[in-house]
Structure 1
Amino acid sequence: MIRYAVVGAGWISQEAFMPAVALTGNSRMQAIVSGSPEAARKLAAFHGVPETIGYEGYDALLANDRIDAVYIALPNSMHADYAIRALRAGKHVMVEKPLATTLQESEAMVAAAQESGAFLMTAYRLHNEPGTHAMIEAVRSGKIGDPVYFAATFGFQSQLGNHRLKAGHWGGALPDVGVYCLNAARHVFAAEPIAVQAMASRPANDPRFAEIDASLAVTLRFPGERLAQFFCSFGSGMSESIRVVGATGELILDPAFKFESALRLTIRADGKEKTTAFDQVDHFAGQIAYFSECIAAKTPPEADGEEGLADMRALLAIDEAAKTGETVHLALHPFGAGIVPAMRRAFARTTKRLLL
């Protein structure tokens, strides 16, 4: 049984991570690390977690053998510090995306994992989700011919007061939801982008967007003359979709990204159309169970620090392109191993959750 400390007890931990742990059968929560003692105690009592600890006690927790791994769900600007401290203490780390806020931070996190031998996993929950696997397998098997174009949208109306609206934490739609679109494009093409263009929009007089852009539209060039585009937003109606156009057909995944959604895949090829509706599964239980299996087997996870670093390179290039209006070119990097069928996990969602 892999023992986790949850670092950061905000919405994503309460809504998604904490309820999922009990579903896995191979993981449990040992501690909640939070700056809100009362909330942490309530959550610990609800989920049966033995310990609650303030941030000042984090290093002492890492120094003992009561935990094996940490899940970091802090603002983006805090990812690197808390991950590196855990890795140097020999604890495995699952960190929410984006990996960090700069390439230097991201590379330091990867280096800390390599030096300690502990695993660093970027929390790409869709890498274990059945509908996402079906989409990738449809592309790989040639059901729509060679993929030539990728398009995605992920947007919704964000609420005033959310820390993701703060520039100081590298907030905004791009690192929060645009990363899903980017990551999907990379895996569909099994390649890294070599050039990006981007344009941002920010409505006047909307206090939510005093520090960040509301929406971004992005175009990416991949090797082999393949193109991708995506739109991400904190100021749009709910939209979460992927469309991949191949040489002989196309596929549509809609819904495509949210962990509350049951994914639905439509393939159009050879004059036929087939739609598959997937069962709603617990994305977080899938990725937690997978990571715990990797830890127990001493097998590095697929969505490791290098996978998070690959997205960081592109995210920062997109950010630069949006600010300058110029095409930003990226150095050619090899694509990683990619997701494989053995990573697929399917746990039914639980209704047991406490939101404070």
Structure 2
Amino acid sequence: MISIKKYLAAAAMLFLSGITLAQNPLKVVVAGLNHDHIHGILSQYNKGNVAIIAIAEPNKQLQQKFARLYHLPENLFYDDLKTALAHQKPDAVLGYNAVGKHLEVVETCAPFGIPVMVEKPLAATLAQAKQIEKLANQYHIKVLTNFETTWYPANKTVYDMVDQDSIGIIRKMVVHDGHQGPKEINCSPEFLSWLTDPVLNGAGALNDFGCYGADLMTWLMKGRKPIAVTAVTRHYKPEIYPKVDDDATIIVEYPEATGLIEASWNWPFSIKDMEVFGQRGYIHALDNNHLVTRMRENKKGAKTAEPLAADISSPINYLTAVLRNKIPGTDDLSSLKYNMIVMEILDAAKRSAATGKRIVL
């Protein structure tokens, strides 16, 4: 359980961080409105935690929809990102467009020296990711990827326990990510139109949910690449998702450990959890806050994760800390370095599923 003293200290850090952000919020331009995660950043805007100085979105209906929902002024909107950046000078650009369009965002921002954060995964294909990496290196900009699971205190607790050698060397990691299906949970038509497209999303459930496990495993393995990937994809609902897979099982091999990624649009409920088996014990992050542990046979435990430090407690806090040089953003869940490995895993999984072969990296 969290001690009262630690809880109050963490709460105080979050409160002070909120004051700092409110006094000097990051100035951002939003690229795209057709990703349903957009509600998160617009809610933060309404709370004063981030300054959105422009929104680039070609779809006039989407402009009007979000203007009504979040009381956004008309002069905030531009039809394309280049025009927006010609008029506004942001600290960063946030990509809330189709994954297959992330490269276009970086191509536009990089020559201006503007950092970019996109929603997961980094790109639709490994080839696109390599072009993004080349641009980031050429123009010396940060390109970061936002995963919901990055901000789960339970996952950080698992990482810290492993790092402190509480369970010994990792032998197996199992990550479940999925839900009933994007149409079944009423994702917006604009989101579905590209999420279920093999070009704009790069795959179906394999890319959409497989990326979470690949990212978490890369983090737990401290940026080491796997040696091989094997995957099976299924198409249980072709009448709903005719163009892409809706279920994926990915085996990720490391020299001393095995990872199992289970990604699906076919489950009876939504789940994002992670299990880690070590030589001496087991940790299961049940959700964003709760864990259970078991050491050998009889030492069982349950705990609530302590709150994250302020600078790593949310996407905007993290991005602000990276851009203001409080944290490096080079070897973590959002970093370009780790997400290039994520893209290699996803690419190998797609090739394995297509050929029925184990792909050696």
When the two structures are superposed, what TM-score results if normalisation uses the length of structure 2? 0.80
Preserved contact between residue 41 and residue 52 of structure 1 (Cα < 8 Å): no
Preserved contact between residue 206 and residue 245 of structure 2 (Cα < 8 Å): no
Shift of 1:300: 4.2
The one-letter code sitting in structure 1 at the alignment partner of 2:27 is R
For structure 1, list consecutive stretches of 5 or more residues without a partner in the other structure.
256-261, 331-356
Shift of 1:121: 1.0
Q: 2:228 aligns with which of 195, 202, 220?
A: 195
Map 1:164-179; keep pairs closer than 5 Å: 164-169=195-200, 170-179=202-211
Pair 1:284–1:175, CA change in 2 (3 A): farther
Partner of 1:293: 321
Preserved contact between residue 151 and residue 313 of structure 2 (Cα < 8 Å): no
Shift of 1:177: 0.9
1:271-311 deviation per Cα after TM superposition (whole angstroms, max 9, x unaligned) = 32221234899999712111112212386423232222111
Pair 1:216–1:45, CA change in 2 (3 A): closer
Partner of 1:8: 32
Pair 1:268–1:21, CA change in 2 (3 A): farther
Partner of 2:41: 17
Q: For residues 159 and 177 of structure 1, what CA distance do their matches in structure 2 show?
A: 11
Q: For residues 279 and 145 of structure 1, what CA distance do their matches in structure 2 show?
A: 22
Pair 1:283–1:207, CA change in 2 (3 A): farther
Pair 1:296–1:177, CA change in 2 (3 A): same
Partner of 1:93: 116
Pair 1:304–1:152, CA change in 2 (3 A): closer
Q: For residues 189 and 13 of structure 1, what CA distance do their matches in structure 2 show?
A: 28
2:301 matches 1:274 = yes
Map 1:341-352; keep pairs closer than 5 Å: none
Map 1:238-317; keep pairs closer than 5 Å: 238=269, 239-255=271-287, 262-270=288-296, 271-278=298-305, 286-297=314-325, 300-302=328-330, 303-317=334-348
The one-letter code sitting in structure 1 at the alignment partner of 2:233 is A
Map 1:126-275; keep pairs closer than 5 Å: 126-160=149-183, 162=192, 163-169=194-200, 170-190=202-222, 191-203=224-236, 206-224=238-256, 226-238=257-269, 239-255=271-287, 262-270=288-296, 271-275=298-302
Shift of 1:96: 1.4
The one-letter code sitting in structure 2 at the alignment partner of 1:244 is V
Q: For residues 65 and 262 of structure 2, what CA distance do their matches in structure 1 show?
A: 38
Identity of aligned residues (%): 20
The one-letter code sitting in structure 2 at the alignment partner of 1:245 is F
Preserved contact between residue 22 and residue 28 of structure 1 (Cα < 8 Å): no
SS of residue in 1 equivalent to 2:236? coil
When the two structures are superposed, what TM-score results if normalisation uses the length of structure 1? 0.81
1:58-81 deviation per Cα after TM superposition (whole angstroms, max 9, x unaligned) = 212223443221110111111101
SS of residue in 2 equivalent to 1:143? coil
For structure 2, list consecutive stretches of 5 or more residues without a partner in the other structure.
1-24, 184-188
